[in-house]
Amino acid sequence: MSNHRNHLGLFWPAPGPSTQRSACRIPRREVLRRTLRASIGLPSLVLFPARMSAAAELPDFSWLPKAPPLPPPEGQVIRVKTVEELFAAAEKVQPGGTILLEDGHYYLPRYFELHTDNVTLRSASGQRERVILDGARSRHGELVGISRCSGVTIAHLTIQNIRYNGFKLNSDQKCHRVTIYDCVIHNIWQRGVKAPFTPPEKIEELSPRECRIQYCLFYNDRPKQWEDDPTDRPDTFNGNYVGGIDIMQARGWVISDNVFWGIRGRTGEARGAIFIWMDSRDVLVERNVIVNCDSGICLGNSHRSRFPIHATRCMVRNNFVVGAPENGILADYTRDCKILHNTVHCPDSRLRRLIRIVHDNLGLVVAHNLLSGPEMRVETESPIHLQGNFTRVVSEHFEDVARGNLHLRQPLPDPAAYVPRLPEAEEDFDRQARSPKTHVGADEPQQDS
């Protein structure tokens, strides 16, 4: 990951129809002008031209706080430095033990699984770029699985290059209280983190509970292509079956402080960077940064085959979203969910979906969001509550759009940008206490002294 750095923050648009679908994709003639502007310090969102084949470079996200270190391991500690030792350690480790990976590039020949309660898998150095679990040579389509256990933590490492799922929480076999912490999830061509559907007769027993995904970086070097996934064909998903986190029947999860960049389908119609559905409940999504993905945060979708409601009592607050033309934030078949104090920037979005509310959304509250672009799309007949949302293109007020930094340089000079503090959002993106009369969006900028 360390070699993917570019101070200009160059992005690319998907080839094909998506370049016409959204004006968030910038024409070729604009690229040189905007690149020049960026090189001399002028703010601009810069995108690669449509059919560029080279891998895009990951922007510098060093403006974000680093993950707090985990405490030293307790109990049994197994140190490994080879692939063979890693697979052996997964079978030997006792409940409460830790597997410490020495720095190195581990090419996994097959699917790797943890299935012991309260086990931690982490890098010895605590540096996530120094330990890489690579699926490029694996004979399987999934990389790291967790099954038949509770309390597993995976931290401070990178997974990359697998056809289907990177981290697979096998919910149908019991998988609770999993923590994925300070990891890099790179070039995973279906889902970076997947928690699938559980058997209907065991929903209450098996629905994955109290999991956490925090301080992780999800990114792909380029839009998905045919050769990445033999199951994603013109007669299935047309090369767009790719996303970041996809969880079903989740209970009490926290998804916070992550970065998602470049999660894109072949024609610009990828699934959500964060996709919560199939009767998920009480999920908190906060302080995430989503940049140049096809879809941002999706509470539900339009497919309603098994459950009448996709998301119940879920909270989406204090997130930054840049350039997600399919949906910035989506509410689709939800119940009593809240979308509060988010900042979404896509000023020329043709689909006009910075926030989209569609189908049944009884009890939904959408309040105090800053939309730098078109008005939200309300396509529901359900009684919902809209309060204090502010819509205006304010590109020049953001710190660094290309790197997803939607902090405001200064408060917006409009009385409508100030709203009463909500009890569910007493802090802003930086965990600073909000004033009684606070600013719309995820960031409460400091007043000039």
pLDDT digits (tens, 9 = 90+) for 5-31: 322 222 333 333 333 334 344 333 333
Could you tell me whether strands 405-408 and 398-400 are parallel, antiparallel, or unpaired per DSSP bridges? antiparallel
CA distance 214 to 181: 5
Percent of the chain with pLDDT over 90: 84
Q: Residue 351's pLDDT is what?
A: 93
What is the C-alpha separation between 57 and 4, in angstroms, rounded?
5
Look at residues 280, 317, 267 and name the one whose alpha carbon lies nearest to residue 16. 267
All residue ranges of the chain with pLDDT < 70 are 1-56, 448-449
Q: What is the tens place of the pLDDT at every residue in 70-80? A: 999 999 999 99
DSSP SS3 for 144: strand
Q: Where are the beta strands (DSSP E) in 249-403?
A: 254-256, 259-261, 272-277, 280-281, 284-286, 289-291, 295-299, 311-312, 315-317, 320-322, 327-335, 338-340, 343-345, 355-362, 365-367, 370-372, 377-379, 385-387, 390-391, 398-400
| pTM of structure | 0.88
Instruction: Please tell me the predicted confidence (pLDDT) of residue 269.
Output: 96
**Lookup: tokens for 338:** 């809240």
d(CA 348, CA 15): 19
pLDDT for 55 equals 58
* All domains of the chain in start order, with CATH: 108-439 (2.160.20)
Structure tokens at 302: 């339009």
CA distance 5 to 119: 33
What does the pLDDT look like over 30-39, one tens digit per residue?
333 333 333 3
User: Would you state the pLDDT for residue 48?
Assistant: 28
Q: Which two tokens stand for residue 423?
A: 């009890």
Pairing relation of β-strands 259-261 and 289-291? parallel
pLDDT value of position 13: 32
259 CB neighbour count, 10 Å cutoff = 23
**Cβ-proximal residues to 53 (8 Å cutoff; 6+ apart), any chain:** none
